[in-house]
A and B are shown apart, each in its own frame.
Chain A
Amino acid sequence: MKLTINKVRLVAAWTWDAGDDACGICRNAFDGCCPDCNIPGDACPLVWGNCKHPFHLHCISKWIGAQSSEQQKCPMCRQDWKFEARK
């Protein structure tokens, strides 16, 4: 072998795996953040419902916070809202 790799530094950019869509509540793109935040990423995370609809955590928290506990529904599909449990 003329050449062998000893060491490598790879660079990867992470984004939310939520398609090219925008948040159904604030309408900001998922690679952006909710209107209350300035920097996207860890600081303004996404969450998914059991219905598989993603939202900004800040947006859905505000949304369900405004509803009484029996009426906490997903704003997209009107199913009862439950945070999807992810590993």
Chain B
Amino acid sequence: MDRTRTRARAAPPRKMRIRAYERKPAAPPQLFSNAWERFLRPAVDAVHQSQPVPHSLELLYGHVHDIVLHRNAPALYDALRRACDRHIAARIAQLAALSPSSEHVFLAAVHAVWHTYCTHMLRIRQIFLYLDRTYIVHAAQPDARSFWDMGLLLFRTHFSSVATVQQNTVHCLLTLIDRDRDGQTVDVALMKNLLLMFTAIGTYDAAFEKPFLASTDTYYRNESRTLVASQDVPTFLKHAESRIHAESHRAVRVLDPSTRNPLISTVEKRLVSDHVVTLLDNGFSSMCDQHRKHDLKRCFAVLSRASDHMPADSRAPNELMKSRLIDYVKNVGRAIVMDKSKDPEMVQSLLTLKARLDDLVNFSFDGTEAFNMAVNFAFESFVNARENKPAELIAKFVDSILRTGNKGFSEEQLETTLDNALTLFRFIDGKDVFEAFYNKDLAKRLLYDKSASLDLEKSMISKLKHECGPQFTAKLEAMFRDVDASKDLMQSFKTHKLSKTSLSHGIDLNVYVLESARWPLSTQPSKVKLPQSLMDCQEVFKKFYLTKHSGRKLAWQYVNGSCRVKANFPEGTKFLELSLYQTIVMLLFNDADELSYSEIADATGIEELPLKRTMLSLACGKARVLLKRPKGPQVDAKDSFVFNKKFTHRQTKLKINAIQIKETVEENAATTERVFQERNYQIDAAVVRIMKTRRTLQHAGLLAEVFDQLRFHHKPADVKKRIESLIEREYLERDENNPQAYHYLA
């Protein structure tokens, strides 16, 4: 005990000891064969037969010691090796004779041989410990291995060289693993022990891992081929995920740790990488459509893992998913945008879609920026697939939020809705269309006091300013200023002596004076004839205004005027909120009970379309202050109208002027027309700007430069028309010899 410990601790001085032995005399000739045949060999045989050793260990140690001391170590080592060799050869031969048809039985037998062999070798080593420690460690013996290594080498030599035994063992293991994959119960501990054996004898990589990976490859190649065809995509992905998980688990439980990575990549390759395109083709858009967040998350996770094993000529799965997402969004979006019958719900549908996609990207695609950008890219593309209309509808949607009547929503909720609408606005190319409709709607909100909240209005303007720059909102902000300035102006008018005229008529006069270019107003003189009282009011105000602002002129916008009228019906007095047109019509009935359509048209000077609309509102709406003859839902030029003497209503104050707020077909057309005019103006300005610096340009060159400067979508034909117009107006001239070249005229 003591001796052992000293030696173990003092490793380097060993060499000195060995040198000392060399001085010992040569052994007597009989010493080795006597000791081996009489004592040591029977001991080895007894161990191999799992019997007790016939002599005391102390005696056996002594013999080994003597043999080594007398320099017979090589002979002893050799004899011992041959004895072990014979033994293991016999045991392996027994295994070779065993049928591998029952895998568990065969593998258990192999394991039993291995396990017993290890036990024997440990016992033998104990007997020959002195030999192991001295002779074998001696560097001068190149092919001498430690006893344990020698044992492993012997086992390996026979196990591997008797071809069928190792082959059968591997085959049985692979069969069991496939069975395990098929869901049958197998002896995992047995497999683990056998694989440790392969590792111990150094044949794990070549004899086991290689065929194992090949059989894994085949197994999943076959499985995926069947399942991809028979299962729906979400089910298959779930399956793939659980397979990857199970194989990972197998790697930990059974296999050598080095096998994990090649195993998992084999599984991913065969189960996922091989089928990425098919999976996406069959399932991606339907998962998006059904908003299967969890399935898509799995899809993203599983397919992303496959990216390392994609064929060289294939795009990465993430790229493929991204472009599928773009395709999907474009399709869904285009269906919403292009279907004219769904225009009333377009914006709400787009907002819902956007919110849903944001949720998908965040949840299923890890909020990856590239996917966000893909969604935005798709929106941009489909929203602009239909010219102008989406921009118009977004503007109207915003109007509906800013207008009075959104009861039940907090200001905060309305703000959020505005932000969402702004997200859509961001995708629009034709921002000028949005601006024109926003401008028109804002004008109505301001002129008819229909704005829900000045704070909300201002917040929207600042959002737009932030988005498009101050130039975009300057006009809108100026509209608010015009309204404020008009209110101030009325304050000073009311203290002015001229205001007495309106007072003498008993009319509370208010005038909005608006800068014409900022408002969607007409500067054409109106043919509408005002009642005298209003005419008087208008004239005094004009006089007042021009004293304050010389060099200006006023164009009256009767279509936008409004009145409060006291109406004495026999059944009771009512206060009516009327449009100016309605007022002008109604006042005619002070001098008549019944008037024909044409009499009304002559007396008022109101054009046909607005007059018919006005008559309809007075005689065919909910509150009928006039009666139409004959009755009917439409106004005809042959109709006549009677003051409704039986008019009653539960309210004293009522509004009949809602028609002013509703957008008419003409207004819509005029708004669109304004956009086109503005665009023409922009084209003109761009052409002049370019020609002023370049002096002379070819047609194509000019077109290219104009294209760079314009921010809205335009056709070359439009630009060509504008160039013609500029030539007519003598800003440009065509080259005498080359009709494709233009010169700037200073």
- Among the 9-residue stretches A38-46, A63-71, A72-80, the one with 4 or more Cβ atoms under 8 Å from chain B is A38-46
Interface residues of B in 454-513 (CB under 8 A from A): 471, 474-475, 478, 505-513
Contact B575 A12 (CB under 8 A): no
Contact B552 A16 (CB under 8 A): yes
Q: Does B234 contact A (CB under 8 A)?
A: no
Contact B508 A6 (CB under 8 A): yes
Residues of A within 8 A of B538 (CB): 10
Residues of A within 8 A of B556 (CB): 10-12
A-B pair number, CB within 8 angstroms: 156
> What is the CB-to-nearest-CB distance from B335 to chain A, in angstroms, rounded to a whole number?
39
Residue-wise interface mask of B (299-327) relative to A, using a CB-CB cutoff of 8 A (1 in contact, 0 not) = 00000000000000000000000000000
Contact B566 A6 (CB under 8 A): yes
Contact A14 B511 (CB under 8 A): no
Q: Chain A residue with minimal CB distance to B564?
A: A7
Contact B474 A3 (CB under 8 A): no
Q: Chain B residue with minimal CB distance to A47?
A: B551
A39 to B476, CA, bound (A): 10
A31 to B555, CA, bound (A): 13
Q: Which of B537, B552, B553 contacts A10 (CB 8 A)?
A: B537
For chain B, what secondary structure do more than half of its interface residues adopt (helix, strand, loop), or is it mixed? mixed
Residue of B513, B517, B533, B568 with most partner-chain A CB within 10 A: B517
> What is the CB-to-nearest-CB distance from A35 to chain B, in angstroms, rounded to a whole number?
9
Q: Which of A11, A16, A32, A54 contacts B560 (CB 8 A)?
A: A11
Do A12 and B554 contact each other (CB < 8 Å), given the known contacts A39-B475, A41-B517, A42-B515?
A: yes
Q: Chain A residue with minimal CB distance to B685?
A: A35
Contact A8 B517 (CB under 8 A): no
- Among the 9-residue stretches B167-175, B177-185, B252-260, B586-594, the one with 4 or more Cβ atoms under 8 Å from chain A is B586-594
Contact A31 B517 (CB under 8 A): yes
Q: Does B227 contact A (CB under 8 A)?
A: no
A41 to B521, CA, bound (A): 14
A72 to B643, CA, bound (A): 67
Q: Which of B547, B555, B564, B583 contacts A87 (CB 8 A)?
A: B547
Residues of A within 8 A of B541 (CB): 10
Interface residues of A in 1-32 (CB under 8 A from B): 1-18, 31-32
Listed from nearest, the 10 A-B pairs whose CB atoms lie closest are A41-B515, A13-B516, A11-B560, A7-B564, A11-B557, A7-B508, A86-B550, A17-B553, A12-B554, A40-B517
Residues of A within 8 A of B (CB): 1-18, 31-33, 38-43, 46, 48, 54, 86-87
Q: What are 28 A-to-B residue pairs whose CB atoms are below 8 Å?
A: A1-B590, A2-B590, A3-B565, A3-B590, A6-B566, A7-B508, A7-B563, A8-B562, A10-B509, A10-B511, A10-B558, A11-B560, A12-B512, A12-B545, A13-B514, A13-B521, A13-B523, A15-B516, A31-B516, A31-B517, A31-B523, A33-B517, A38-B471, A40-B515, A41-B478, A41-B517, A43-B478, A46-B551
